[in-house]
Amino acid sequence: MATAATTTRLRYEAIKPKIGARVLNTKEELLSGELSEDILALMEERGVLVFPEIDFADHEQVKFSNSLGGNADELAGQNQDSVFKVTLDEKAQHANVVEYLKGSLFWHIDGTMNPIPIRASMLTAKVLAPEGGDTEFANTATSYADLSDEQKAEIEGLRVVHSLWCSAFYHTPEPSAEQLADWQSKGEAEIPLVVTNSTGKKSLVLGNTAHYIRGLDMKDSQRLLHGLRAFATSEPYVYKHVWKLGDTVMWDNRTSLHRATPYDPYCGRMMHRTIIKGGEAWDQ
Ligand code: OGA
Ligand code: MN
C-alpha cells in the first residue's frame, strides 16, 4: 500500500517590499532540516528572516544553524557547538569582546575584513532591554538596484579599505596611543564597493569599517561612502526589528547592513548568536 508523501512547505509573509520576511513554520518543521534549501533561498531573496517567538534553546539554535550550512567558529575561543553571547555587559562577556560589540550600535556588516565573509548570522533574544535595543537591518542589494545608471557607473570598480581601527572611532573617539596601536594591529582589507555573488546579484559593502576609497581624495571618498550609506539605510530598505522574548532573526550577512539601537549596556540585554558558514569571497 502506498503511503502519501508528506512534504513540509515553507510558510512566510513578506514584511516590506524591499526587505524582510516572517517565517511562520513551527519549530519542529524548522528543525526537521527539510526546509533548509528553501530557507536559504528566501534569505537570499528577502535579506532578513524573522522567526517570531520560536523559542530556540541553545542546542536547537545550533542544530538549526548546522542544518543551514554549519555554525562557524566564533570569536574568543567559542566552538562550533555553542552560541556566542552578544551583550555589552562586562560581567557577562570578556571586556575585549564588549569593546568590539560597541561597534554594533553603528551600521555595519560583520566580517568585512575576512576574505570570505560569513554567509549569515542569527540572533535569539534571551533577555530584552527595557528601552531601546531594537535591531535595524538594511538591504544593500535592493538599494544598489535602485541607484541610477549614472550612480552605478560612477561607483563601478571602486575599491574600499575596511579597517577595525576606523570603526572603533565611532564609539571611542579619543583612544590612548596604546589602544589605537592595538586596534591597528587587527588588520585591514581592501574589497570592492560593489560585490557580485555567484547568482549575479550585486550589493553595496558599506558601514563603520569602510574607511576610504582607494585612489580618491579623502573628502570625495567620505562624501561618497557616507552618501551611499545614508541612501542604503533610508526607509524603503530598512526593517527595524522590535524584539519579543524568544524571537530569532537571521540575516544575509553579505547583503545586510545592521545595527542595534542604543540601550543601557548594564540592563542585561542578551542575544545568543550563531553564524553560518558558506559565504563567497568578497573579491571574485
Ligand atoms: C551582531 C550585531 C546587533 C544587536 O550580533 O553582529 O550586530 O542588536 N548585533 O545586538
Ligand atoms: Mn553585527
Please tell me the predicted confidence (pLDDT) of residue 278: 81
DSSP state of 174: S
Q: Average of pLDDT values for 240-247?
A: 98
Nearest CA to ligand 1 atom 4: 260
**Strand runs labelled E in 115-254:** 120-127, 135-139, 159-163, 188-192, 194-196, 202-204, 210-213, 238-241, 248-252
Residue 5 lies in a domain: no
Residue 119 lies in a domain: yes
Q: Average of pLDDT values for 124-148?
A: 98
Indicate which atom in ligand 1 lies nearest the CA of residue 134: 8
Distance (angstroms) between ligand 2 centre and the Cα of 71 equals 16
Residue 50 lies in a domain: yes
Residue 185 lies in a domain: yes
CB atoms within 10 A of CB 91: 8
Return the exposure string of 246-258: e unless at least 16 CB atoms fall within 10 Å of the residue's CB, then b. Answer: ebbbbbbbbbbbb
Does the pTM surpass 0.75? The reply is yes
Please tell me the predicted confidence (pLDDT) of residue 3: 53
Please tell me the predicted confidence (pLDDT) of residue 72: 66
Residue 3 lies in a domain: no
pLDDT in tens, 250-266: 999 999 999 999 999 99
Residue 1 lies in a domain: no
The domain of 104 spans 12-276
Residue 269 in contact with ligand 1 by CB distance below 6 A:
no
177-184 and 164-171 helices cross at what angle (nearest 10)?
Answer: 140
Q: Average of pLDDT values for 109-131?
A: 93
Nearest CA to ligand 1 atom 5: 86
134 touches 242 (CB < 8 A): yes
Residue 39 lies in a domain: yes
Residues whose CB is less than 8 angstroms from the CB of residue 198 and which lie 6 or more positions away in sequence, other chains included: 280, 284
pLDDT in tens, 192-202: 999 999 889 99
Distance (angstroms) between ligand 1 centre and the Cα of 148 equals 31
Residue 4 lies in a domain: no
**Total structural domains within the chain:** 1
pLDDT in tens, 56-84: 999 999 999 999 987 766 544 445 568 99
Q: Give the CATH number, domain containing residue 87.
A: 3.60.130.10
